[in-house]
Copies of this chain bind each other. A is one copy, B any other.
Amino acid sequence: MSTVHVYDTTLRDGAQQEGLNLSVTDKLAIAAHLDDLGVGFIEGGWPGANPKDTEFFRRAHDELDLRTARLAAFGSTRRAGARAAEDPQVAALLDARTPVVTLVAKSHPRHVELALRTTLAENLAMIEDTVSHLVAASRTVFLDAEHFFDGYALDPAYALEVVRTAAGAGAEVVVLCDTNGGMLPPQVGQVVQQVARDTGARLGIHCHNDTGCAVANSVAAVQAGATHVQGTINGYGERTGNADLVTVISNLQLKLGHPLLPPERLARAAALSHQISEITNVVPYSRQPYVGASAFAHKAGLHASALRIDPDLYQHTDPALVGNQMRTLVSDMAGRASIELKGKELGYDLSDRPELLARMVRTVKDLELQGWTFDAADASFELLLRREVTGEPLRYFDVESWRVITDSGSDSSLSEATVKLVAAGERQVAVGEGNGPVNALDHALRQALAVAYPELDKLELIDFRVRILDASHGTDATTRVLVETSDGSSSWETVGVAGNIVHASWLALIDSFTYGLLSQGVEPR
């Protein structure tokens, strides 16, 4: 593996994105995904700055079992005129109990004077004191030199002194930050090379995308000698976002030969990008390099015949290397192949059933046009496939009707659901309460099925996600609901789509219960 650090700051700098708001549970889930991808460092947040980040580090210490990544706490150098050993913010960094601490420090004279309101000399003392204090407490320290490139342009001698001071005090890496994002690649490359030469320090790079060059600037810095690169998943971040870490990694690894991640982990990049979008609920950007849904989609036309002969003539890299795939937007060839593959994965051999495959492709395309999605709902896909193979839907019970009432009765607005159905030959009428319509329906449905299918008792809904499609129609829009259910040992996802959010949820619930019974080998009673 390469000696270049892959440092992710999705949880800290990425979370600065407008409209992005992560709960502690979200942050823990994202950290686990990042560890799976194989990044070297995960910056978790700023302990002490807000209660959420403090709680994140407490829970991460107990709950996160990282295999590859090391966790970093982010904070600033001590206050002017105090001692690091007595600064509560610095103490909070140690309380986070992470192996790594990343300190942000000023390296631009105007920022020292206007934002920190202290002297240039005191700023250097703050860096020296804080880095030494953390190193003495056995932390690996990285120092983010904020506004470095702008500062270097104004006063190179002072910017260099910041780098020397941090490195001299024991910072393992000094990260040059283009905080305002205004740089272009040649400037970045030149400054990194010069600073490396003048200071001998190990350098990192942290870029923002304000000129549309965050990726190119990061790559230029590595080519100029930086050996630590920061970024965020999907380029999340304030303003125009941070450098898109997956694109930076892919360029360095696939174009320039830096082995940053084991190939089998890089091949999870597209899936990881989408999984993290689901957690952040930021709509994926289809034109995103490498991992976007359109990244390898060809509108054929001019290219069609040559594409068939040699796809490599029309793609800059093999999409499989990043877990993506080529799509031709006019042909259903890819559709059939992937459905056959998916069927095989689920235990259905469809290789000698071209008609069934063609029918499935049509069904899936029709449903996807209506807003259904199966790439995140394997269980619903399997039920659909099973229905096509056997010729009839799997029916454990017959629903007569259902109804949910929500009212303003209390601040927490309980919902009440009634479900009427026939199971094992008996008509059941059951009522359930919940703190939302879906929760109430879940309880009523369980109640109605308890006698016929006691196996359902161990099922638990563990995730519930809503996406509004065709948002321009406002509350009139189509709604897609994804439900994840666990039986204690494994979990599965189902999907429902309807104009009515409650109806969509009901469809996903029915699939979830049906799949839960099927997977336990239960026969309809």
Contact = CB atoms under 8 A, between A and B. Distances in A.
A52 B408 contact: no
B404 A435 contact: no
A286 B523 CA distance: 46
Contacts of A464: 468, 471, 474-475, 477
Contact of A403 (B76, B217, B251, B407): B407
A24 B349 CA distance: 34
Contacts of A434: 475-476
A9 interface: no
Given A49-B333, A114-B306, A469 B23 contact: yes
A404 B403 contact: no
A235 B287 contact: yes
Contacts of A108: 313
Q: Tell me which of A297, A302, A316, A333 has the highest count of chain B C-beta atoms within 10 A of its own C-beta.
A: A316
A247 B414 CA distance: 45
Interface stretch (A31-39, A119-127, A207-215): A207-215
A295 B239 contact: yes
A177 to B, nearest CB: 13
A273 interface: no
B498 A413 contact: yes
Interface string A48-62: 011110000000000
A299 B462 CA distance: 32
Interface string A270-295: 00000000010101011111101111
Contacts of A439: 474-476
Contacts of A409: 401
B413 A18 contact: no
A203 interface: no
A500 B412 contact: yes
Contacts of A209: 287, 289
Contacts of A500: 406, 412-415, 435-437
A9 B39 CA distance: 38
B251 A212 contact: yes
A83 to B, nearest CB: 22
Interface string A453-492: 0000000111111111111101111010001100000000
Q: How many copies does the complex hold?
A: 2
Interface stretch (A90-98, A182-190, A257-265, A338-346): A182-190
B23 A371 contact: yes
A517 to B, nearest CB: 19
Interface in A305-340: 305-306, 309-310, 313-317, 329, 331-333
Nearest to A12: B333
A126 B21 CA distance: 57
B405 A401 contact: no
A69 to B, nearest CB: 21
User: Mostly helix, strand, loop or mixed at chain A's interface?
Assistant: mixed
Contact of A463 (B180, B296, B472): B472
Contacts of A462: 472, 474
Interface in A203-225: 209-217, 219-220, 223
A419 to B, nearest CB: 9
A81 interface: no
Interface string A214-257: 11110110010000000000010111110010011011000110
A476 B435 CA distance: 6
A415 B475 CA distance: 12
Given A25-B471, A211-B255, A212-B215, 14 more contacts: A18-B293, A18-B297, A18-B375, A25-B472, A237-B287, A239-B295, A239-B298, A240-B289, A240-B294, A401-B407, A401-B408, A406-B500, A436-B479, A438-B501
30 contacts: A16-B300, A17-B287, A17-B299, A19-B373, A19-B375, A29-B472, A52-B332, A114-B310, A115-B306, A182-B255, A184-B251, A210-B290, A212-B247, A212-B248, A213-B213, A213-B215, A213-B219, A213-B251, A239-B297, A281-B465, A401-B408, A403-B406, A403-B407, A411-B498, A413-B500, A435-B499, A435-B500, A436-B475, A463-B474, A466-B468
